[in-house]
Chain A
């Protein structure tokens, strides 16, 4: 489903040694270990944590950040960063809700939201590739544009009155089949599509190549600007999908709906092994990163500690994840170097 720039070691070591080695070079296994550790501690401290309904809630809660983090992972792999992803989500949610309020059919609302997400992605791409703005600045500006448009358009008043039964299903408030919710299926579909693109298409290889070395990719004939813009379109579309789900889950769209979500998406992607320096990341990692964040918030809510501690814990997890990523990058580089030099 996904690709990393590293490959597993092949030597004569024992299975345990190989597993330990893999843990060090594969950041996805690292975040999996972190998640299991959090679950273990939580289950020990609070048995209710392992209650199936709690795990179900936890998974449902993580889906929006998960989808955003998957889009963010593609951007990070290609060497960029998307600070506008949260406000793009809010803008797309606003477009979907307003379209519904105009009395247009649901499909029109969904298409309008997706088109908005794609347009924001194109805008980010143009600002970066045509005007030569740094990714950070371009997407920060886009954050302002998207947020400002939504505030002006809504005059600060949340959009209400658009909910129809289908939107409750889209938001996951009404299960689709049994306990399965539509956002779960959507997240799975996004994961399969993006994992497939990164793992088995030329476009995916180009994302990694551009993120690893723009000059190298250009010399190899890769159209770097186009690839970078495409990464932002993917991110914009992911934000649109998340926005549609959010509109259904929240049942209203306030102008500040997306505040802070860009940080959560970056955190989930980085915890999942994506490198801020580009060329490295995994869709599965983003999924696990989002679940790790949701598990942390869930644990804090269950324990009943104030939100200020929540921020500290998430910050600590982020630091540990980035340090672990850096360590695994160093180790995998050494492994590659050793392999290149031969036995």
Chain B
């Protein structure tokens, strides 16, 4: 565990009075939160869930004076438009609406996601460059592009006065010590996400092992080879399975992070390995495709004692519906709603209050199965029906 590096750059365009208030707020924040830490080593689902600033310790009227009706132009650049990123965006917009009502902040929000190949990252680069050229105040980015390329782009944009916040992004594999040493090349104000190794792959592996009492063979439907998300989830999943000597991963195929390919891949692997006890789909769409393959072959879904376990990761409404219908055993909810909400809290704290924010903010995740799906789905549906709309 290491001490957190904080970003101390105050919000721009502040008047002297606003700056004074911001400094007061910063001091108050530090007094109240103390020295926060980031736990980047593996193990727990809540590892390192530390704060990105907040407003609760100041009266709304005080914050309102700081904000002073200011408008902020924010770009949102997910790697692709999808159910998951829509959930993240909706949660963010709900928080924006709350801040608008409480503090009078005005938002200009623009979303642009890659329309073709999310895993090349090329389109995201173009989108971010567009935000830089149009002088946005802040940009949220999640990209599959090479980490050093993205850091260079953030530096270039930061030099022009734009603040970057990464979300749901993997840390650079070539530099695994970055989490322990956040100054190691990270050019963003903050990195808001979850630890993919331990909070997605590892939890899924643990869940399978626990249900199967440490015995049985597993097949995997993986994302595109070369994807950092795939590599990281594999680290966690394989580590969890390696803790059970009587469990074995017998086959794997590429499902391209999409449902129909997941279905085809699972059908092919179930032909070769008809006795498997579990299927791990690295994301929820592929896991749902695998669940369809189980139906198509007339096999039995896991009922708590027998059948085939199917587990994915994301925490989508469609996945939760499938869990309730008994078609999908479980999913690792990577907490899109909290991610979106924390993104805006962090931005607000940094841009408006001039607060110090953590460079790594870990979002807690958890396994959702039939035992707790109602609660998780309730939270998600509440977020999706929220007032935020920009």
Contacts and interface: CB of A to CB of B under 8 A. Distances in A.
Interface of A: 46, 48, 51, 53-54, 57, 61, 147, 151, 155-158, 160, 173, 246, 249-252, 254-257, 259, 297-298, 300-302, 304, 306-308, 310
Contacts of A306: 225, 254
B253 to A, nearest CB: 4
Given A61-B264, A250-B259, A306-B225, 7 more contacts: A54-B268, A151-B115, A157-B82, A158-B82, A251-B288, A257-B260, A297-B268
A48 B226 contact: no
B81 A307 contact: no
Contacts of A155: 81, 86
A51 B272 CA distance: 9
Nearest to A53: B271
Interface-central residue, A54, A302, A304, by most chain B CB under 10 Å = A304
A80 to B, nearest CB: 23
A150 B288 CA distance: 22
B318 A160 contact: yes
Contacts of B268: 54, 57, 297-298, 301-302
B12 interface: no
Nearest to A181: B296
Interface-central residue, B85, B258, B269, by most chain A CB under 10 Å = B258
B295 to A, nearest CB: 6
A300 B116 CA distance: 24
A157 B86 contact: yes
B251 interface: yes
A27 B86 CA distance: 48
B292 A156 contact: no
Interface in B255-279: 256, 258-260, 263-265, 267-269, 271-272
Contacts of B251: 304
B113 interface: yes
A249 B82 contact: no
A307 B318 contact: no
B302 to A, nearest CB: 19
Contact of B83 (A46, A51, A158, A249): A158
Contacts of A298: 268
Contact of B296 (A157, A173, A304): A173
A156 B272 contact: no
A98 B54 CA distance: 41
Interface residues of B, number: 38
Contact of B113 (A156, A250, A308): A156
Interface of B: 80-83, 85-86, 113, 115-117, 224-226, 251-254, 256, 258-260, 263-265, 267-269, 271-272, 285, 288, 292, 295-297, 317-318, 321
A302 B272 contact: yes
A54 to B, nearest CB: 4
Contacts of B252: 304
A48 B116 CA distance: 35
A156 B78 CA distance: 11
A161 B364 CA distance: 29
A257 B225 CA distance: 20
29 contacts: A48-B272, A51-B271, A53-B271, A57-B264, A57-B267, A61-B264, A147-B115, A151-B81, A155-B81, A157-B81, A157-B83, A157-B86, A160-B318, A173-B292, A246-B260, A249-B260, A249-B292, A251-B259, A252-B318, A254-B83, A256-B80, A256-B116, A256-B258, A300-B253, A301-B254, A301-B264, A301-B269, A302-B272, A304-B251
Given A160-B318, A251-B292, A57 B271 contact: yes
A302 B250 CA distance: 11
B260 A250 contact: yes
Contacts of A250: 259-260, 263
Interface-central residue, B83, B85, B317, by most chain A CB under 10 Å = B83
Contacts, number: 92
The 6 closest A-B pairs by CB, nearest first: A156-B81, A307-B254, A306-B225, A301-B268, A301-B253, A54-B271
Contacts of B272: 46, 48, 54, 302
A271 B117 CA distance: 25
A155 B87 CA distance: 12
Contacts of A256: 80, 115-116, 258
A301 B260 contact: no
Contacts of A53: 271, 297
Contacts of A259: 116-117
Interface-central residue, B116, B269, B296, by most chain A CB under 10 Å = B296
A5 to B, nearest CB: 35
Given A259-B116, A302-B268, A252 B259 contact: yes
A301 B265 contact: yes
A251 B293 CA distance: 12
Contacts of B253: 300-301, 304
Contacts of A48: 271-272
A307 B256 contact: yes
Contacts of A310: 254
A61 B113 CA distance: 30
Given A157-B86, A297-B264, A302-B268, A308 B259 contact: no
Contacts of A249: 260, 263, 292
B140 to A, nearest CB: 15
Nearest to A255: B81
Contacts of B116: 256, 259
B43 to A, nearest CB: 29
A301 B221 CA distance: 10
Contacts of B297: 53
A306 B225 CA distance: 6
A53 B285 CA distance: 24
Contacts of A156: 80-82, 85-86, 113
Contacts of A300: 253
Nearest to A254: B82
A99 B388 CA distance: 27
A298 B271 CA distance: 10
Contact of B271 (A147, A252, A302, A307): A302
A306 B226 CA distance: 9
Contacts of A246: 260
B317 A61 contact: no
A250 B85 CA distance: 20
A50 to B, nearest CB: 11
Contacts of B81: 151, 155-157, 255
Contact of B258 (A46, A254, A308): A254
